[in-house]
Chains A and B, each alone.
Chain A
Amino acid sequence: MTAEQGLFLCAAAFTLASAVMVVSARRLIHAALWLIAVLSGVAILYALLQASFLVVVQVVIYIGAIAVLFIFAIMLTRRQTDHDAPSRWTRRAPAFLISLLTLGALSGIVLAFPEAGRLPPPMPPDLDAVNALGAALLSPTGAAAYAGVLFHESYVLPFEVASVLLLAALVGAIYLATTERRRRES
């Protein structure tokens, strides 16, 4: 076993153990904090995959914003959520069964996938991934602008649509989160 495999196994074990805690912790705030552990574990996996931009984005957006929003929401609904009462086994057993079946199905797909045993190709030495990502997201010719080739997949439209989606989410979420009285006042 190489050092890299050891690192991967440590990160994977940490991520999965935290994930189990997320779905089993009684106190919701602890579940949210375990979610942060999962998110950091996933960030370590991104680092192993050499996707630098996504490592920092994972920490900035997921841990810095989404997890904080979760904690705020849990504290806003404190009266009910200090302890999440365990659901009955009639609910947990089918849930467990369904996830187990899904796991089996996904594992089957992975095992049947012809490229599953593949090892990673070497990173292109002069690839500036963030720069290329910017070109892919914003140039009509895609990463072509970065790489100097003729054509590449371009994500201009999805990127712009994503920003519209975020605006819509902002407006909708604000509408839902403010009370009627507050809305009438303004």
Chain B
Amino acid sequence: MSIPLSWYLFLAAALFCTGLYGALSRRNAIAILLGVELMLNAVNVNLIAFWRYLDLRPNDPAPMNGQAFAVIVFAVAAAEVAVGLALILSVYRRRKTVAADEVNLLKW
């Protein structure tokens, strides 16, 4: 038990920024969603690290805040993927493209 909390936080930050780069630089909408998944995972690593390091206090028998948060993030991630991919498929069916910069349904 010798890993300082900051290691996990730095790792999560790096993972988050990799995901951010993917989400910003990719043209393909599905690839953008892959980047968003990386970011969500980084957040979850943070939540669990905080649970392990700060939530668990010696005089407090069962703090579960970090894990409960992570569980809800899982549910949100599932909903996000389901709707996001369905949107992409719907656009693909109409426009025959999944390149995010070629989709201009909401542009004017």
Chain A residues with CB under 8 Å of chain B are 2, 4-5, 8, 12, 15-16, 19-20, 22-23, 28, 31-32, 35, 38-39, 42, 45-46, 48-51, 53-54, 57, 61-62, 65-66, 69-70, 73-74, 76-77, 79-81, 84-85, 87, 91-92, 94-96, 98-100, 102-103, 106-107, 110-111, 113, 115-124, 127, 129, 132-133, 135-137, 143, 146-149, 152-153, 155, 158-159, 162-163, 165-166, 168-170, 172-177, 179
Main secondary structure of the interface of B (DSSP, over half): helix
Q: From DSSP, what is the main secondary structure of chain A's interface residues? A: helix
Specify the chain A residue showing the minimal Cβ separation from B93. A179
Report how far A49 CA is from B57 CA in the complex, Å: 15
Flag if A69 contacts B70 (CB, 8 Å): no
- In the complex the two chains form, is B33's CB within 8 Å of A70's CB? yes
Q: A169: which B residues are within 8 A, CB to CB?
A: 78-80, 82-83
Q: How many residues of B contact A (CB 8 A)?
A: 78
Task: Find the residue from A42, A48, A94 having the highest chain B CB count within 10 A.
Answer: A42
Which chain A residues lie closer than 8 Å to B41 at the CB level? Answer: 38-39, 42, 62
| B residues less than 8 Å from A166 (CB atoms) | 75, 78-79
Interchain CB contact (< 8 A) of B21 among A16, A76, A96, A106 = A96
Interface residues of B in 31-61 (CB under 8 A from A): 31, 33-35, 37-38, 41, 44-45, 48-49, 51-54, 56-58, 60-61
Q: What residues of A have a CB within 8 angstroms of the CB of B34 in the complex?
A: 22-23, 31-32, 35, 70
Total A-B Cβ pairs within 8 A: 282
Q: Is the pair B21, A23 in contact by a Cβ cutoff of 8 Å?
A: yes
* B49 cross-chain contacts in A, Cβ below 8 A: 49
